[in-house]
């Protein structure tokens, strides 16, 4: 069982060399072999960054992805036309530094044929990192029902007449990936599920309900699909990440977990709940009362949305506040989300990212020893 007190959600800022190499690869200036060498060096950099900061578990920074959720369309045929906007669309809210941004959902987005996997989604990520990290490696996968946004009642009807039939194949692909990761020795897998908090807001909830499921269906049937990924997998600790949107230092919705807490916290089979709690938009800790006794709550207290460094005393006090609802031994700390949910990243520097991980780890040592 993974007991990391200082944890990481997944993505890290891409080094400038990797971003330049991605552009050069697309233009044909470099070949695949040269690009993979640069990509590997970016992973090396990210692992060392996390280990030097003192994290108890590390990721590869999602250096090999365009977005936290892109690994499936990069590895599986059948999704039709897509580009980076497939993962960026939405009515994004920003503060005075970045401002709001609205990106329309691409009109041609939707599976057009039966899904066929060309390769494993994340096996390369894990096997490369396995040889280079000296602590547990977390691999992130996406909640199956999040991919409802890649199903279209018009474009997908010949291959998948219903959303349920489409998500059944998505779930089967992701379950096979979990089994492969377990076979390769991965002991820590995270399921990213930002769409559940989106149900808090009526506007974003409307999109998911228009796909054919009510809010209760999304909570009950969606969690059932998530649990299919985890059931019967021995030797693996699962975490379940919930946030309110994270792109370019922007967010999608506000509000506490109250509406969804009981069904999600008690229904999901993951051992660790990674919850966004970096500012007032996330609500208070009251919903933690619904967390079962067999789960650890990883408090996402450190924001990835700005470079402003948190006060260690404030972080420690916030942990004490949460301990009124969850015993301290079942708490941990992390950022609220990734530093670069997609390749563009949030509005902070790599040095600021490093400082945030360091202060988080120092607080973990102070609180838990």
At 99-142, the pLDDT tens digits run 888 888 888 889 999 999 999 999 999 999 999 999 999 999 99
Residue 88 has pLDDT above 90, yes or no: no
Whole-angstrom Cα distance, residue 254 to residue 200?
A: 8
At 244-296, the pLDDT tens digits run 999 999 988 999 999 999 999 999 999 999 999 999 999 999 999 999 999 99
Q: What is the pLDDT of residue 97?
A: 85
Give Cβ neighbours of residue 98 (< 8 Å, ≥ 6 apart): 248, 249, 250, 347
**Mean local confidence (pLDDT), 56-67:** 97
In the chain, where the domains are located: 16-368
| 208/165: higher pLDDT | 165
Q: What is the pLDDT of residue 210?
A: 78
Whole-angstrom Cα distance, residue 23 to residue 16?
A: 11
0.85 exceeded by pTM = yes
Q: What is the pLDDT of residue 193?
A: 96
Percent of the chain residues past pLDDT 90, beyond the cut: 83
Residue 67 CA: distances (Å) to CA of 74, 291, 368: 10, 29, 33
Q: What is the 3-state secondary structure (H, E, C) of 321-367?
A: HHCCCCCHHHEEEEECCCCCCECCCCCCCHHHHHHHHHHHHHHHHHH
The bridge status of strand 116-117 relative to strand 76-77 is: antiparallel
The bridge status of strand 90-92 relative to strand 101-103 is: antiparallel
Q: What is the pLDDT of residue 217?
A: 82
Q: What is the pLDDT of residue 216?
A: 84
| 6/1: higher pLDDT | 6
Nearest Cα to Cα of residue 54 among 9, 3, 6? 6
Whole-angstrom Cα distance, residue 241 to residue 260?
A: 14
| 252/312: higher pLDDT | 312
At 205-242, the pLDDT tens digits run 777 777 777 888 889 999 999 999 999 999 999 999 99
Percent of the chain residues past pLDDT 70, beyond the cut: 100
Start-to-end CA span in the chain (Å): 19
Cβ 187 vs Cβ 138: under 8 Å? no
Whole-angstrom Cα distance, residue 120 to residue 128?
A: 14
Whole-angstrom Cα distance, residue 43 to residue 55?
A: 16
Question: What topology is assigned to 16-368 in CATH?
Answer: TIM Barrel (3.20.20)
Query: What does pLDDT average to over the chain?
Result: 95
């Amino acid at each position: 069982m993974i007991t990391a007190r200082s944890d990481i959600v997944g993505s890290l800022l891409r080094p400038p060399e990797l971003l330049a190499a991605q552009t050069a690869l697309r233009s044909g200036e470099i070949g695949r072999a040269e690009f993979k060498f640069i990509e590997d060096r970016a992973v090396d950099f990210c692992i060392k960054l996390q280990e030097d900061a003192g994290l108890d578990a590390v990721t590869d920074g999602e250096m090999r992805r365009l977005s936290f959720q892109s690994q499936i369309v990069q590895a599986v045929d059948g999704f039709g036309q897509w580009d980076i906007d497939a993962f960026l669309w939405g009515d994004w809210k920003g503060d005075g530094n970045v401002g709001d941004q609205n990106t329309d959902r691409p009109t041609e987005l939707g599976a057009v044929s039966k899904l066929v996997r060309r390769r494993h989604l994340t096996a390369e990520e894990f096997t490369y990192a396995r040889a280079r990290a000296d602590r547990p490696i977390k691999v992130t996968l996406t909640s199956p029902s999040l991919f409802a946004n890649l199903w279209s009642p018009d474009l997908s009807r010949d291959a998948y007449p219903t959303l349920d039939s489409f998500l059944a194949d998505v779930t089967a692909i992701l379950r096979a990936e979990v089994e492969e990761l377990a076979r390769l020795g991965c002991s820590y897998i995270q399921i990213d599920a930002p769409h559940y908090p989106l149900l808090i807001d009526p506007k974003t909830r409307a999109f998911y309900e228009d796909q054919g499921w009510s809010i209760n269906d999304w909570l009950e049937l969606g969690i059932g699909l998530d649990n299919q990924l985890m059931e019967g997998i021995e030797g693996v600790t699962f975490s379940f990440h919930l946030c309110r949107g994270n792109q370019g230092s922007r967010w999608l919705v506000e509000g506490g977990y109250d509406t969804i807490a009981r069904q999600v916290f008690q229904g999901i089979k993951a051992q660790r709940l990674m919850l966004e709690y970096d500012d007032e938009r996330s609500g208070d800790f009251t919903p933690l009362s619904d967390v079962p006794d067999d789960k650890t709550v990883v408090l996402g207290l450190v924001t990835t949305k700005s470079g402003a460094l948190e006060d260690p005393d404030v972080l420690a006090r916030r942990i004490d506040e949460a301990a009124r609802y969850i015993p301290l031994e079942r708490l941990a700390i992390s950022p609220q989300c990734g530093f670069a949910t997609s390749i563009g990243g949030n509005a902070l520097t790599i040095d600021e990212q490093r400082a945030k991980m360091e202060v988080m780890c120092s607080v973990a040592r102070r609180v838990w020893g």
